[in-house]
Structure 1
């Protein structure tokens, strides 16, 4: 299984438009040491560091590919990485930064099968699958396939399970992606707080690589109207507000599920510049062979 991180940022990405904070400036003009560190991870940062909106490209040994979430930065991501168009896609939830790239299906695909959960969200009154269809009913090239959480299904030479997580007020799903031929496993937490159901934790456990959401540093919680939640034994909040993990929360969660390796994704530009590019925080273009 080959995994390419197309997009590793939050809803505004890093650098953020019209922002001159230290983190965005460092992303635009990384110093030599940061470029060297990223080069060791296979990333060319000569022209800057990018965390575009979240998306992951997975290639199976069967020669097929699966796109996890369809970023609004779809066009730029695919041109930058030079990867082939995916054979199928999965949408984890209906926030715009995870599905609005589907508009790119126009004129690019004869058919793009999109898989999503069939569970009705009490807030929206429709499932994620229904939400995708209602937003993109004008795209005949997009076919929507309803799948039940916790029930594995096969797509693009992979076995995939939608894993419910906690991202109030909307339903959201992480993923367990297993390659039958090699037994390699990729776990994706999805957008979530630290308090994830035990059954979901079990399914996300033991991965070769885990992509774990961590949006900001813990000190940022004091600026959130709802503060922080799910504190560790030292009182450090592992959830920012109610629906995203802090960086310590992401690191604790990666340890909880005993991943062989992990990267923190969906990270915002609010993280201080001297911490925003730590080696376990993902940047676009990282690639992994599992």
Structure 2
């Protein structure tokens, strides 16, 4: 399977509109983009494409990456930077299954699948929404997929595991999450050929968050920024624990210092990997 990182940024992306910080200036000068999060997975055998999360930057991402439109889609949670690009399917595709978690979220009194059905009712003749229980495998585009619960309060959030049943290649995506992922979820995410890990900021900026950092490592460095996202240090610690063969850090904010913002293993839009 071919994995293309369509969007590697956080909710505002980099460069951020109206921002003249060193990181945003550097991105503009170097022609680098980190648009809102989305991942394209292409199964060459079937010539079918699976899209993980529907970025508001859907149109520009597909034009820039020149990848096929999705045959099926996955939505990990209902924050706008992961869901609101779904409306782009209107007039572009027909009969696209959308897979979403089935568990009812106490914060919304409905599942992610329910939210998609109600919010995008005008697409009901173009998509079919399929509610999927956590950890239970299902097939999408000839690949085996599982939703993996993570921690992204106040909403329920999910990572995704995608495996090729023919080659045993494995892609693990943490989704938006703190470092406080359960052991069961860690086990499901473990041993990937490629790990895409949420790493919104370096640990050094946790002091600027209203509640600081959490999940400190042995050296006292926070692995969670606030309560919703991992720090770079947290994501790298998780990658080591999961025994990831390769790791790319995603969902990156422009709050990284300019001299660190484009260093390895922080991803940028357009990267592609063959698994």
Structure 2: gaps spanning 5 or more residues: none
Question: 2:129 maps to what in 1?
Answer: 144
Runs of 4+, deviation exceeding 4 Å: none
State the distance in 2 between where 1:65 and 1:183 align. Answer: 18
Task: Determine whether 1:55 maps to 2:38.
Answer: yes
- Please state how far the C-alpha of 1:62 moved relative to its aligned partner: 2.4
| TM-score (structure 2 length as normaliser) | 0.98
- Please state how far the C-alpha of 1:274 moved relative to its aligned partner: 0.4
Pairing 1:139-218 to 2, within 5 Å after superposition: 139=123, 140-218=125-203
Question: 1:33 maps to what in 2?
Answer: none
State the distance in 1 between where 2:136 and 2:87 align. Answer: 28
- Please state how far the C-alpha of 1:98 moved relative to its aligned partner: 0.1
2:52 counterpart (68, 77, 98): 68
Question: 1:133 maps to what in 2?
Answer: 117
Task: Determine whether 1:4 maps to 2:4.
Answer: yes
Aligned alpha-carbon RMSD (Å): 0.7
| TM-score (structure 1 length as normaliser) | 0.93
State the distance in 2 between where 1:115 and 1:81 align. Answer: 23
Structure 1: gaps spanning 5 or more residues: 31-47
Question: 2:229 maps to what in 1?
Answer: 244
More strand by share: 2
Pairing 1:225-264 to 2, within 5 Å after superposition: 225-264=210-249
SS in 2 for 1:113: strand
State the distance in 2 between where 1:110 and 1:154 align. Answer: 19
State the distance in 2 between where 1:192 and 1:57 align. Answer: 20
- Please state how far the C-alpha of 1:228 moved relative to its aligned partner: 0.3
Question: Bigger shift: 245-254 or 139-148?
Answer: 139-148
